[in-house]
Structure 1
Amino acid sequence: MQAAPWFLVLNGKSAGDEAVRDAVAQLRGQGQPLQVRVTWEAGDAERYVLEAIAALAPVVIAGGGDGTLSEVAEAMAHTGLDATQLPELALLPLGTANDFATAAGISDEPLAALQLPAQTPARTIDLLRIDGDGTVHWCANLASGGFGTEVTVETHDGLKKMLGGLAYVITGISRLGRIEPIRARIHGEGFQWEGGFIALGIGNGRQAGGGQVLCPDALLDDGLLDLTIVPELSGEVMPTLSTLFSEGKHAALEQVAERVHLRELWIEAEQLMTLNLDGEPLQARHFHIQCVAARVRMHLPLETPLLSG
């Protein structure tokens, strides 16, 4: 009897990628059954995940960028099944910046990424659950607000296509002189902060927006979210800010940021603010963000720095 196939949930933008087509053909030629499903509109990823579960697929591969990964992970979380009842998750990085894959050390070579589930055991990882004024989303990598969010949202698709992650840096530099801080109260167990911030990172993973390392110590399996707040800055430290967003230096972050590890946190903003959930903007004034431990199982490189132990 033939083994149940893996499922590749492929972002429609990459459907014509010849390297992906070749890698799929090679994997099948090596004896691994693989079903490919292409997303076209909202809801497709969830429908394909449910199809994979019904087919007893052992592995579902998200083919795309950080947004596609979160979309597939969210679809798994929405089933209500626990991690042991769900297919294992993997990633074929095909996005502009591939922040999650870069931090995790997942190869951007399609065949190598597709082969990873056969080469490494799946490990349980956490997910972020974000409730914004009653609207609930899930996030696999990082939720960001303030300057970093505006850079990501404002970066033109054409520029991203031409320049990749560098497009975010160029857009960020162009905005340095017109940053408006967002005023909010942020609190969690044993932690309270209130004031104006220009950047906010809530990490399951470590970076977003084309290499902005906002949560440099985040781990995917510690049951904690990593919170980084960059408060509004004086003109004297703007060069530090430039270094932070263009190069992602840990040292620059330490100079200006408030950082803490929490299981959950609340944000109360004075006006509507946007959180970017791996490319998906969510607007609200009140957010409740939880780290849901061991929510899915995922195949990652053995030497990835994103796992404890």
Structure 2
Amino acid sequence: MRRMYLILNGKSSQRDDVRAAVAHVREQGYQLEVRVTYDADDAARFARDAVCREADERPDVIVAGGGDGTLNQVVAAAIEADAGTRCAFALLPLGTANDFAAGLDIPVDPQAALVLAASGTPRKIDIGRINDRVFVNVASGGTVTRITREADPRAKRLLGGAAYLIAGASRIGELTPTRASFSADGFSWEGQFLAMAIGNGRLAGGGVPLCPEAKVDDGRLDLMLFPQPEADHVLSLLSSLLREPDGDLQGYATRASFTSLRVDAEEELSLNLDGEPMSASRLDVKVEPGALRFVSRA
């Protein structure tokens, strides 16, 4: 039976369905150790503790219980502490959007997700790095990212993806483009853009396929770059970026697939790495193929 180590976001620790799922897995005979986060750096601290244990105490699977941000914190800290960790990882999706879970067909029902973590077969997936910061799903940047990052957390809980659209539409006058140059394997582009997405996974922003052709296990990352559109198309692009899972994003976007990418911007870019903020004017992006063993159905 697997030894499992659940790092549970404190905001979800009192949910009855989460408690019932933990009890169910333990009743099946699995060892499940639970650590509940309280402070902002707890998830990272718990992850470092898990991967650095002696072999006979190290968990077989570390489960991130929370949203994409919690998963990012857990994976990034674990890899930083032990790049060659023998622990596998899994996700108990408890966030607002759960984009990474949706992309890998991980159930949102807590019991089903924990049973999958306990019994599913780990497979190797890629991770991305930007200036040595790890991301697992999607990194996005540009003015749209800055504005949506500032969306009211209460609105996000109540309205989901619609909150991002409302935040962007209400501040459309602030959607000033950023000028930057992009250079990757056989690809170069320079100009003004409103948004960019670098995808290991396909979905972000509540189910929007920002990087529809990205695959977590192909040894590459996908760039979707959204140049500054004509003035009367800005709201349409914004709507497609933030609210329409079936929107034709590729009609607005320039796409590239790469193993390494360099971005030089005239000013600092606001970035969102799986929900974790970052700012920089120069980005060195690369993929690390098969760096993570992850339990999923897809």
Q: 1:64 aligns with which of 63, 66, 79?
A: 66
Match of 2:82 in 1: 80
SS in 1 for 2:237: helix
Q: Distance in 1 between the 2:41 and 2:86 partners?
A: 18
Instruction: Give the C-alpha shift of residue 174 in structure 1.
Output: 2.9
Q: 1:164 aligns with which of 152, 160, 170?
A: 160
RMSD, aligned CA? 1.8
Equivalent pair of 1:10/1:37 in contact (CA under 8 Å): yes
Amino acid at match of 1:258: T
Match of 1:272 in 2: 268
TM-score, with length taken from structure 2 = 0.92
SS in 2 for 1:196: strand
Q: Distance in 1 between the 2:2 and 2:45 partners?
A: 18
Instruction: Give the C-alpha shift of residue 45 in structure 1.
Output: 2.3
Query: Which deviations, in whole Å up to 9, do the C-alpha atoms of 1:253-305 show, x marking residues without a partner?
Result: 2211100100011111101111111111111111111111111100111xx2x
Matches within 5 A, 1:84-233: 85-131=85-131, 136-233=132-229
Unaligned runs of 5+ in 1: 305-309
Q: 2:44 aligns with which of 29, 43, 46?
A: 46
Instruction: Give the C-alpha shift of residue 163 in structure 1.
Output: 2.0
1:248 aligns with 2:253: no
Runs of at least 4 residues off by over 4 Å = none
Equivalent pair of 1:168/1:210 in contact (CA under 8 Å): no
Q: Distance in 1 between the 2:109 and 2:67 partners?
A: 14
Equivalent pair of 1:4/1:56 in contact (CA under 8 Å): no
Instruction: Give the C-alpha shift of residue 162 in structure 1.
Output: 1.7
Aligned residues with identical type, % of pairs: 43
Q: Distance in 1 between the 2:222 and 2:2 partners?
A: 37
Q: How many residues align?
A: 293
TM-score, with length taken from structure 1 = 0.89
Match of 1:30 in 2: 28
Equivalent pair of 1:201/1:214 in contact (CA under 8 Å): yes
Instruction: Give the C-alpha shift of residue 46 in structure 1.
Output: 2.9
Amino acid at match of 1:121: T
Distance 1:232 1:273, change over 3 A: same
Greater CA deviation, 275-284 or 48-57?
48-57
Amino acid at match of 2:231: G
Greater CA deviation, 218-227 or 50-59?
50-59
Q: Distance in 2 between the 1:180 and 1:244 partners?
A: 18
